[in-house]
Amino acid sequence: MLDVDGASAVVTGGASGLGYGCAAKLAANGAKVLIADLDEEKGNAAASEFGGMFVKADVADEEQMAAAMLAASEMGPLRACVNAAGIGHAMRTVNRSGEPFDLAQFEFVVRVNLIGTFNCTRLAAAEMSKTEPLADGERGSIVNFASVAAFDGQIGQAAYSATKAGIVGMTLPIARDLSSIGVRVNTVAPGLFDTPIYDKMAAGGRDPQEFKDTLGASVLFPKRLGFSDELGSMVYELVTNSYMNGETIRVDAGVRLPPK
């Protein structure tokens, strides 16, 4: 098992939502967590809560993320990186008015989700390669965030699904690349989890809890939205279980998303 106690861990998008749940789990097990996010208020609050560090950084920016990885390594050997940062932009490829998907928005989602994830993965692995090897030559573990939308993309999710499928598709090649330096790579594909995004999506004055209960009813079992600590537990297992490598794990309670 990869012991994170006393080591550093980077969590992108760790200021809130699922990234926050992962940061909390790592910190509870002794990791010195660096949160890389754009939300300074929430990021600083989370870092203070975990006794870690916050760095404002764009995941697709090479210089900013290289600085974040270096800062993490100064807290302790970098052994874990969880890439939870991501965005979405819902729009049909061509809408009912005949307007095509905004190409700039498509490119932006690709930049943040796919390029950002790869950027952080490569930079984290490079920093991990400088650490002293542990048992079996292991140096670190990276967990990337895809989504069930990589497999069950809904109407309007072309950009989001494309990026998440890209993360799934690069998991094994990167794991093979990094095997020579003792760094493992796995991916989680979360389903419907209770995060602040659903409060924002409850448009038109609809009660947010009613909205979330309706979504939860579509889940196979248990019929509810997932909790961030449940995903955090799975991510922590992938970080620490030394025999997990090159895999994509759906964490979705059996849900299969309908077209809309």
Give one word for 136, left, alpha or beta, with left for phi > 0 and alpha for psi -120 to 50: left
| Distance separating alpha carbons of residues 154 and 6, to the nearest angstrom | 42
User: Domain check: are 83 and 22 in the same one?
Assistant: yes
| Distance separating alpha carbons of residues 198 and 217, to the nearest angstrom | 15
User: Domain check: are 48 and 166 in the same one?
Assistant: yes
Domain count for the chain, please give it. 2
Q: Note whether residue 2 is domain-resident.
A: no
CA torsion, ordered 152, 158, 159, 161, to nearest 10 deg: 10
| Distance separating alpha carbons of residues 213 and 86, to the nearest angstrom | 24
User: Domain check: are 59 and 187 in the same one?
Assistant: yes
| Distance separating alpha carbons of residues 57 and 35, to the nearest angstrom | 9
Q: Note whether residue 259 is domain-resident.
A: no
User: Domain check: are 126 and 221 in the same one?
Assistant: no
User: Domain check: are 139 and 209 in the same one?
Assistant: no
User: Domain check: are 134 and 216 in the same one?
Assistant: no
Residues of the chain short of pLDDT 50, as ranges, are: none
Domain that includes residue 208, residue range: 196-225
The pLDDT assigned to 197 comes to: 72
The pLDDT assigned to 205 comes to: 65
User: Domain check: are 133 and 237 in the same one?
Assistant: yes
CATH of the domain at 175: 3.40.50.720
Of 160, 198, 236, 243, which one is the catalytic site residue?
Answer: 160
The pLDDT assigned to 252 comes to: 98
| Distance separating alpha carbons of residues 141 and 242, to the nearest angstrom | 8
Is the Cβ–Cβ distance between 79 and 22 less than 8 Å?
A: no
User: Domain check: are 47 and 123 in the same one?
Assistant: yes
pTM as predicted: 0.96
Q: Note whether residue 1 is domain-resident.
A: no
- For the chain, give the percent of residues with pLDDT over 90: 92
User: Domain check: are 206 and 178 in the same one?
Assistant: no
Tens-digit pLDDT profile for residues 187-237: 999 999 998 777 666 555 678 888 889 899 999 999 999 999 999 999 999
The pLDDT assigned to 207 comes to: 80
The pLDDT assigned to 196 comes to: 77
Largest CA distance in the chain: 59
User: Domain check: are 204 and 169 in the same one?
Assistant: no
Q: Is residue 160 among the annotated active site residues?
A: yes
User: Domain check: are 71 and 49 in the same one?
Assistant: yes
CA-based nearest residue to 226, from 197, 196, 190: 190
Q: Note whether residue 200 is domain-resident.
A: yes
Preceding amide of 259 cis, omega within 30? no
User: Domain check: are 152 and 247 in the same one?
Assistant: yes
